[in-house]
Amino acid sequence: MSQRTCLSVILAAGEGTRMKSALPKVLHQIAGLPMVAHVVKAAETAGAGDQVLVIGHGADEMRKAAAKFAPEAETFVQEKRLGTAHAVLAAREAISRGYDDVLVMFGDTPLIDPGALTVARLKLAEGAAVAVIGFRTPNPTGYGRLIEKGGKLVAIREEKDCSDEEKKITFCNGGLMAVAGGRALKLLDAVGNKNAKGEYYLTDIVGIASGQGLDVVATEASFENALGINNRAELAQAEGIWQQRRRQEAMLSGVTLIAPETVFFSHDTEIGADTIVEPNVWFGPGVKIATGAKIHAFSHIEGATIASNCDVGPFARLRPGADLKQKAKVGNFCEVKQATIEEGAKVNHLTYIGDARVGAGANIGAGTITCNYDGYSKFFTDIGEGAFVGSNSALVAPITIGKGGYIASGSVITEDVPDDALAFGRARQKTIPGKGKELRERFASAAAAKKK
């Protein structure tokens, strides 16, 4: 297999009108990644060294998105929608380059397992001209049936064309197939459009190849592999299946999920063994967690790096650029953005740390805010090793709190604080005996006057 060249042709031209969206259907996301990007990843894992996207609706938007998830992929436009075989032939130029294997896939089947594609490619290596990926279901109504004779696939029959006996077949067409590269264009060019819709159907190449005496086989995968997304309900169904797969994978790799069904991963979440994740945690893109961390309930984490033995939450929000070093603590109702929390530092309660460094062993009191934005630009706050910032303090950036610096509670700090210095940034307290009673009486009288 490693010596065989492979091209994946991914059909992504559908308008997706049932999605009720201006966004091209295949750009709707599963686990934070466009569904077509999941298909691209599966093809790459199965050994497809080159990728082609056949696009139509929203072509410019598709190209822009593809530049991120498949920068090396070629795009071809299907100008008129005349069927699936016609769509594949939009990539004639790429197919004609002489690949050993051509994988034909759909951009709206994000749950395809790379292993299923590999099995289909193996059948080509063994001499098959076409290998169709099918699935079995106890309720085949609505699906095309795979018609086999003597262990070979002879036709794909749409249900409306099936005999009563053929309708009993539970082996159904998943839509995905592998075609021998040397035969692909001849088979595709032989497809006609003499049907009710006047379209060129990719499935017809099965009968064409079989009629030419070529080997055509069907391989079997789970129903999930062929699950196509046509509306928001099916999108949610696919998201649920993807998440369940990922949760299972995480737990089997040594991660504790206390309530797995309430934890949501992104497509690229990395999470180390012996990490404990409590209920209702959401991981957005770009999260990396080392071993032994504890993520408490109701935390929202994206674009963050969490080192070993860190403690996060509950109700913590880590935004992109948050970097927690070993044994750092970000506690309840805290937000960290574009900031490093160094080893053993603690940000425990009701605090915002943005565009900052919190030095090793430092302690940030409840209600502390790094005032990092003046409405036009962002500024940096540097808090030194072992510093102590008292509760309800505002640190107005740019500012440096030196090593071992001590900030009195309730301070507004606007100037740098040297190492080991104590800084007050608040008005001196003044107490006036009896004034509280006087104010209460005045306010009560004013309130009573308003009611008259």
Annotated binding residue at 230?
Answer: yes
Cα–Cα distance, 407 to 340 (Å, whole number): 20
For residue 349, indicate whether it is catalytic.
Answer: yes
What's the DSSP call for residue 429?
P
Residue 437 assigned ligand-binding role: no
Is 411 annotated for ligand binding? no
195 known ligand binder? no
Tell me if 319 is assigned to a ligand binding site. Answer: yes
Residue 163 labeled ligand binder? no
Cβ neighbour number for residue 125 with a 10 Å cutoff: 15
For the record, the structure tokens of 126 come out as: 């063994």
447 among the known binding-site residues? Answer: no
Q: What's the full length of the chain, in residues?
A: 452
H helices of 35-180, where?
35-45, 59-69, 84-89, 92-95, 114-125
- On whether 381 is known to bind a ligand per the annotation, the reply is no
The answer to whether residues 278 and 301 touch, using CB atoms and an 8 Å cutoff, is no
- Residue 373, annotated as binding a ligand: yes
Q: 144 labelled as ligand-binding?
A: yes
**Among 221, 247, 249, CA closest to 136:** 221
Burial of 206 (0-12, 13-18, 19+ CB in 10 A): buried
Q: Is the dihedral of CA 163, 164, 165, 167 positive or negative?
A: positive
Would you say 403 and 420 are in contact if contact means Cβ atoms under 8 Å apart? yes
Summary count for the chain: helices (H), strands (E)? 9, 35
Q: Is 83 marked as a binding-site residue?
A: yes
On whether the CB atoms of residues 397 and 412 are closer than 8 A, the answer is no
Binding residue per annotation — 78? Answer: yes
Q: Any known ligand binding at 332?
A: no
Select which of 38, 86, 300, 349 is catalytic: 349
374 in a known ligand binding site: no
Known binding residues for UDP-N-acetyl-alpha-D-glucosamine are 11-14, 25, 78, 83-84, 144, 158, 173, 230, 319, 337, 352, 363
Known binding residues are 11-14, 25, 78, 83-84, 108, 144, 158, 173, 230, 319, 337, 352, 363, 366, 372-373, 391, 409, 426
- Catalytically active residues are 349
Known binding residues for acetyl-CoA are 366, 372-373, 391, 409, 426
Known binding residues for Mg(2+) are 108, 230
